[in-house]
């Protein structure tokens, strides 16, 4: 027996393996809300243009609302024999309202239907991700304001470089998240065009109003080319690209949390809420939430790579390969969502060891650049000469096993006689961070100002909705 939804041309039922490889309902069932919304808009447009009767449109609308409720309450039976969400909805609609259900598919195809559904779905994902990133930023900003003056080591090559503040470090991720949000918003602008009405690939001979359905579904406009409308998934690729960059940002921060919580470093602590123990070692406190955020990045990047490979050789227009566009993307978006929420929780949970941070900030002669700057500023040395002199002084301190600010003044003067006791005022880690007052610098007053600015900006965004 052939499929009653499309099987007029076929006299035999598909092979069992064919049914298994062809079915997509296990994945695209997640598009049910978008599919029903698009169908309601389509039915209303058909009636408005005299293509179906107002009575049929009304019955279709009521039937679709019933199906939406059934699915939402878990009372809907998804049938794999019906392949996908579109056929499952249409079949149930037929049970509810009879032959009028068959009029719903007038002037459309599953090709433009699925493209519309998936655009609506990805648009919803973008909006949800933006809200999650805003909450992440809020958590970071609040902690940055709290720790605007908390000194910690800044690193390059994972080696102690110069003192910074913990608040400054946290604000770096606020800026990254802002760019992530910008990329998602850019993707949203480009995806917000409606494929509905493009039909299979060539448009339709029915007098439809694609602008009306686009407006009803809050799209900016209908897509201008019917071939393009059904055959490209660049809107998913672009959103996954933004998601991949965002996931990398989350992973970098997660890696830092793993390092900082190690007893060898000991700069922060996480509570029981975001750590786990060992089945054999009672003393262990493992930063598993951070480690899993790190790992989730692979799922997001993998989803992007997978879809790029699916799409790379497809001629226009729709190809069945494109059925593989959803599962990886949905899993990737879900992984990112979980990662962002986990990172937000850890930001709120973490407790910095301020004494350890301050001590670590002074290790490795981290204020050497401050000494070189003092030589330039006070003794008018060319920077390269000051760099050389400072290097010799650092070597002398290392030889004696003392910190830079503990090196006797006379030993500094043996290397550069013009150095005065005033130099000692710039060699502490507190003095170092306070001096970094250039725009974007780590001076506590800068950090507090930037954090307060972000508080206002995020509050304004919330009010604007």
From the candidates 55, 262, 271, 278, give the one annotated as an active-site residue: 278
Give, as one character, the DSSP assignment of residue 275.
-
Distance CA 459, CA 147 (A): 20
What six digits make up the tokens of 213? 């359905």
From the candidates 11, 157, 205, 279, give the one annotated as an active-site residue: 157
List Cβ neighbours of 254 (8 Å cut-off, separation of 6 or more).
290, 291, 293, 294, 339, 343
Distance CA 38, CA 59 (A): 16
Q: Phi first, then psi: give them for residue 152, nearest 5 degrees.
A: -145, 165
How many residues are there in the chain?
Answer: 465
Distance CA 291, CA 268 (A): 15
What six digits make up the tokens of 91? 């079949």
For the chain, what is the total number of helices (H) and then of strands (E)?
18, 6
Catalytic (active site) residue 388: no
Distance CA 85, CA 79 (A): 9
Catalytic (active site) residue 86: no
User: Residue 248: exposed, middle, or buried by beta-carbon count in 10 A (0-12, 13-18, 19+)?
Assistant: middle
Distance CA 395, CA 389 (A): 10
Distance CA 353, CA 153 (A): 12
Distance CA 144, CA 166 (A): 7
Distance CA 65, CA 71 (A): 10
Cα 48 from chain centroid (whole Å): 40
Give, as one character, the DSSP assignment of residue 286.
B
Q: Phi first, then psi: give them for residue 153, nearest 5 degrees.
A: -75, 140
Q: Which residues are catalytic?
A: 157, 278
């Amino acid at each position: 027996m052939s499929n009653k939804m499309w099987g007029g041309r076929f006299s035999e039922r598909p092979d069992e393996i064919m049914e298994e490889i062809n079915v997509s309902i296990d994945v695209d069932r997640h598009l049910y809300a978008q599919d029903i919304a698009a169908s309601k808009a389509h039915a209303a447009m058909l009636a408005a243009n005299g293509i179906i009767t107002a009575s049929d449109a009304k019955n279709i609308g009521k039937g679709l609302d019933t199906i939406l409720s059934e699915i939402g309450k878990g009372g809907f039976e998804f049938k794999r024999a019906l392949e996908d969400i579109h056929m499952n909805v249409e079949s149930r609609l037929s049970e509810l309202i009879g032959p009028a259900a068959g009029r719903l598919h007038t002037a459309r195809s599953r090709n433009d239907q699925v493209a519309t559904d998936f655009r609506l779905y990805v648009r919803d994902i973008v909006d949800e991700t933006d809200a999650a990133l805003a909450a992440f930023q809020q958590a970071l900003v609040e902690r940055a304001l709290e720790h605007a003056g908390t000194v910690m080591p800044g690193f390059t090559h994972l080696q102690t470089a110069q003192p910074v503040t913990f608040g400054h470090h946290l604000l770096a991720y606020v800026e990254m998240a802002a760019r992530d949000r910008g990329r998602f918003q850019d993707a949203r602008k480009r995806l917000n065009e409606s494929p509905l009405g493009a039909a299979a690939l060539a448009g339709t001979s029915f007098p439809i109003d694609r602008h009306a359905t686009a407006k009803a579904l809050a799209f900016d406009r209908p897509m201008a080319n019917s071939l393009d409308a059904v055959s490209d998934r660049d809107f998913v690729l672009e959103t996954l690209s933004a998601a991949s960059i965002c996931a990398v940002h989350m992973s970098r921060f997660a890696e830092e949390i793993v390092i900082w919580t190690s007893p060898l470093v000991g700069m922060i602590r996480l509570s029981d809420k975001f750590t786990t123990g060992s089945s054999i070692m009672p003393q262990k406190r493992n930063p598993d939430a951070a480690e899993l955020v790190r790992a989730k990045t692979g799922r997001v990047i993998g989803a992007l790579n997978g879809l790029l490979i699916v799409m790379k050789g497809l001629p226009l227009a729709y190809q069945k390969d494109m059925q593989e566009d959803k599962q990886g993307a949905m899993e990737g978006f879900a992984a990112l969502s979980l990662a962002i929420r986990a990172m937000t929780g850890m930001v709120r949970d973490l407790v910095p060891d301020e004494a350890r941070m301050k001590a670590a900030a002074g290790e490795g002669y981290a204020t050497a650049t401050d000494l070189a700057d003092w030589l330039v500023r006070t003794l008018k040395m060319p920077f390269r000469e000051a760099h050389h002199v400072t290097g010799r002084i650092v070597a002398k301190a290392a030889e004696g096993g003392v910190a830079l600010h503990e090196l006797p003044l006379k030993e500094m003067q043996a290397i550069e006689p013009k150095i005065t006791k005033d130099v000692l005022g710039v060699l502490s880690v507190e003095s170092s961070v306070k001096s970094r007052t250039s725009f974007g610098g780590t001076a506590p007053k800068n950090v507090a100002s930037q954090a307060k600015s972000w508080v206002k900006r995020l509050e304004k965004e919330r009010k604007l909705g």
